[in-house]
A and B are shown apart, each in its own frame.
Chain A
Amino acid sequence: MRLGLVIGEAAQGLRRNVAMVISVILVTFISLTFVGAAILLQMQIGQMKGYWYDRAQVAVYLCTSSDTGGNCAQAEATKDQIAAVRAQLDSTTLKPYVKHYDFETHAEAYANFKKQFADSPLASFTKPSMLNESFRVNLVNPNQAAILIDSLKGLPGVQDVEDQRGYLDQIFAVLNAASYTAIGLAALMLVAAVLLIATTIRLSAFSRRREIGIMRLVGASNRFIQTPFILEGVFAALIGSVLAGGAIVAIVQFFVKGYLGNTLGQTTTLVGTQDAWIVVPVLVVLGAVLASLSAGAAISRYLKV
């Protein structure tokens, strides 16, 4: 009986305020889509970090006959120099940090190079001797690359020591910037959504001020008076957040899995539908909580005794 009445009042409010309710739905839809996109981007960054940091190596490039940089003087690294680097990697100081390492010869480097640049004209005039021999080192903890760089960089015959995570960090920086932009936009839109919900509820309360006046006079509890208005705001916001959830799932399904999946192939991991389904409830709860808070604040001034 009471519940039916409360829901009936809320439905009546929604009907009377259709235009405002639609605008609330649209604004929450857009803002929560941005929130969802930002969360997905962060998930993507997290996944890529997990995937690539495990594979990222520290490369110790040895001199070729054409190198002038580093400790090279246009002379190929000698066998002794290579052995010295290897000894250093095996030494008690570095050993605890190194998981394992491989030595890449000119021939292997050339084979990799040819594979990577098969379609490029570069491959045809590159000779194996132009490519550096290198140690490929996997670290126990990829964050400790600096130790390796410091201890190996000064050795004779070493052209350069490079932490490959450097390349990744640039990619992550771009993705991070994108997700912060999305969060910034989302925050602005959410402020707009909250204010719009408050205004809508205030309008709705104003159009029913006679009823509210009588309810207060005859002793309806505050909770009874405010619940229909809060439900009204929450209902509108819920529709918006469900739409946003749908948009997020669609983005993952059609853009990430469909388009990006086809273009990037197996080169990296991408967020999947199961990640999108984690984001959807977050959006729905966020929408409902924000709406009930702002509607509750808006209606409270009509309830002062």
Chain B
Amino acid sequence: MIRFDTVSKSYPGTSRPALNGVNLEILKGEFVFLVGASGSGKSSFLRLILKEEFPTKGQIHVLGQHVNRLPSRKVPYFRRNLGVVFQDFRLLPQKTVFDNVAFTLQVIGKSRGFIQEAVPDVLKMVGLAGKSGRYPHELSGGEQQRVAIARAIVNKPAILLADEPTGNLDPATSAGIMTLLERINLGGTTVVMATHDAGIVDQMQRRVIELIGGQIVRDERRGGYQTQTIPIQRLEAEQAIGVQP
């Protein structure tokens, strides 16, 4: 589903790469947490999957496509198979909940009939059935994030990328969002979620990939936010980038 072969990403002007020789494979239907400090490369990882960035070295395959070789004009069609959710929701303030979700379908050319059917369905699924006529500023943070999730999954993407989706939410609301993401995952969608929320990671017991300084230091099948199983590798990586443990 997603495969990285010794992928490195350097940004111009910095000597230290954002990602350094990353190898990993994420399978269909997996739920993966991406953990690590700010600047450890989580966002770069997600941006590389979306082809918003181009790797400096290495090969990336997503959904059977060789992303490196994907021509620019095909990128929009490639992205239709991916849903994305952000910490800051990124809703359109002058559009209603319904229109925010419908906008996604309109701009990729879906028919009016399809939109009229799909949008209420997905709003019901995320628990916003009665709120389709509201504007984003009339909703709570958790509800806004549900709208964003609805927008990300309305086109039934194979992969859902979430960049700290609970970063702006209180624990109770976060738990609701996580239940929703779990439900989406059960429906067969692969979910990759970058997070700082230790409680969520510990509670869910899913695959955890930990990044430090652009390198994978841990890839645990059923992990928590912190682990003691491979402290040596972590220490080496931290020493390499000059972090005091």
Contacts and interface: CB of A to CB of B under 8 A. Distances in A.
B82 to A, nearest CB: 8
Interface of A (DSSP majority class) = helix
Interface residues of B, number: 25
A227 B151 CA distance: 23
Interface stretch (A65-73, A74-82, A144-152, A213-221): A213-221
Contacts of A305: 51-52, 72, 75
Nearest to A221: B76
A126 to B, nearest CB: 82
A220 B76 contact: yes
B103 interface: yes
B107 interface: yes
A213 B86 CA distance: 12
Contacts of B103: 211, 214
Interface string B69-83: 000110111111010
Contacts of A214: 90, 92, 103-104
A211 B72 CA distance: 20
Interface string A212-250: 011111111110110000000000000000000000000
A224 B75 contact: no
A213 B108 CA distance: 14
Interface in A28-73: none
Interface in B40-69: 50-52
A305 B54 CA distance: 10
Contact of B109 (A2, A210, A222): A2
A216 B76 contact: yes
Nearest to B82: A219
B111 interface: yes
B155 interface: yes
7 contacts: A216-B76, A217-B50, A217-B84, A219-B77, A219-B79, A221-B73, A305-B75
Given A214-B103, A218-B155, A221-B77, 9 more contacts: A1-B106, A2-B106, A210-B90, A211-B92, A216-B79, A218-B80, A222-B73, A305-B52, A305-B75
